[in-house]
Amino acid sequence: MNSKELLSKTRVEVAPETYTLVSLQHEDWRKLLENPELSPRMTAPFMIFSDKWEVTLLLDDVDFQTIRYAVLSAKTQSGFRLLSFDIELDFTIVGFLAEVSRILAEAGISIVSLSAFSRDHLLIKQTDLANALKVLGEHVEELC
């Protein structure tokens, strides 16, 4: 099955939370880890990604407000909604996110893409959410 066919069989879910992306220096991340009270609540999706340049956190607004005072020097971008593609994708699938990106790019919608082991996700600005769902709705099986 190609990426267009997979997309047509996909259910897209929108998480109810609003999210913030946080960029931390590695030393600031280590300080944050010293205080367990600043850990995510585990009741909403979150992400931690560390590369050689920075540590990136994706937190819902409740968890972000909990750590805000501890990360005053961090770069942040808020107002994201999380869209999840509820279809398991194995590692032989080529172009699924490229197809989704193309559809949204043609509509002028900026995305941040995230991949878990078996599913892909997007961050879309709240201001673009209605348009993104309208555009994606023409290509997917169901919007939730």
The CATH H-level superfamily of 3-16+80-139 is VC0802-like (3.30.2130.10)
Q: What is the pLDDT of residue 45?
A: 84
Structure tokens at 8: 């047509």
Find out whether 19 and 121 touch, Cβ atoms under 8 Å: no
* Angle, CA 100 vertex, CA 114 and CA 64 arms, to 5°: 30
| CATH number belonging to the domain at 17-79, selected among 3.30.70.120, 3.40.50.920, 2.40.50.140, 1.10.10.10 | 3.30.70.120
- Decide: pTM greater than 0.75: yes
Question: What tens digit of pLDDT does each residue of 83-129 get?
Answer: 999 999 988 889 999 999 999 999 999 999 999 999 999 999 999 99
Higher-confidence residue of 108 and 3: namely 108
Question: What tens digit of pLDDT does each residue of 14-34 get?
Answer: 999 999 999 999 998 988 888
- Mean of the per-residue pLDDT values of the chain: 93
Q: What is the pLDDT of residue 34?
A: 84
Structure tokens at 18: 């609003």
